[in-house]
Structure 1
Amino acid sequence: MQQGHPRYKQLSKARHEMVIHRRYMFAKKINEGMHSFVDGVRKVMNSVADAIFNTSKTKPLKEKPEIKDIYSEMHNPKGLMQIVPRKFNE
C-alpha cells in the first residue's frame, strides 16, 4: 500500500529550496544596502575633506570690505559739535 502522494517528496524539496532561496535573497539585499550606505558615507566624507582642503588653498582677500555702521551715522552728526553759550548782554 502506498504511503501518501508520490509527489510529496518532490514538493517538500521544492518548498525547502524556496525557503533557502528567500533567505539568500533577503541576506543579499541587506548586504547590498549596507554596501551602498557605506559607499554613500565614503563619498560624503571625501567631498567634505575636499571642501576643507579647497578652502584652505584659497587666497585671503587683498582689501577688506568696509563695514558701515548705519546706526551710529544716523545718531552721531559728522563734524565737531560746539556748544555756544548764550549772551545775556545783548
Structure 2
Amino acid sequence: MQQGHPRHKQLSRARHEMYLHNRHKAECIWTAIKNVMTGINNAISVVGKRIDSALGINKQMSAPKIEPDISPIIYPDVELNITPLVDYNGVAIKRLTTNCF
C-alpha cells in the first residue's frame, strides 16, 4: 500500500534545499553588511587621525598623577576615651569608645 504520493518527497526536499539556500544567502548578506560597517569605521578613524595630526592634537597627554592622601583625618569635636572593661573572670578588657557630641 502506498503511503503518499511520490511527488510529496520531491517537494519536501525542494523546500528543505530552499531553506538551506536562504539561510546561506542571509549569512552572506550579514557578513557583507558587517564588512561594510567595519570599513566605514576604519575610514572614519583614519580621517579623524589625519585631522588630529593636521591640527596638532595628536600629542599624547599623560594622565595626572593622583597622590594618595595619607594624612590622618582629624575630627575636632570627637573625644577619644579608653575605658577599661572587666569580663566575668576579672580580666580587664580595653575598648576604644568615642563621644561625638
Q: Which has the higher strand share?
A: 2
Give the % identical residues. Answer: 32
Instruction: Find runs of 4+ consecutive structure 1 residues off by over 3 angstroms.
Output: none
Unaligned runs of at least 5 residues, structure 1:
57-90
Q: 5+ unaligned residues in a row in structure 2: which ranges?
A: 57-101
Question: Which of the two has higher C-alpha Rg?
Answer: 1
Question: What residue is the counterpart of 1:44 in the other structure?
Answer: 44
The structural deviation recorded for 1:6 is 1.4
> TM-score normalized by structure 2?
0.52
Equivalent residue runs for 1:19-34 within 5 Å:
19-34=19-34
- 1:2 and 2:5 correspond: no
Q: Greater helix share, 1 or 2? A: 1
Across the aligned residues of Structure 1 and Structure 2, the Cα RMSD in angstroms comes to: 1.0
Q: Report whether the alignment pairs 1:16 with 2:16.
A: yes
Q: How big is the shift at 1:55? A: 1.7
After TM superposition, give the deviation of residue 30 of structure 1 in Å: 1.1
- CA displacement 1:44-70 (0-9 Å, x = unmatched): 0000001111122xxxxxxxxxxxxxx
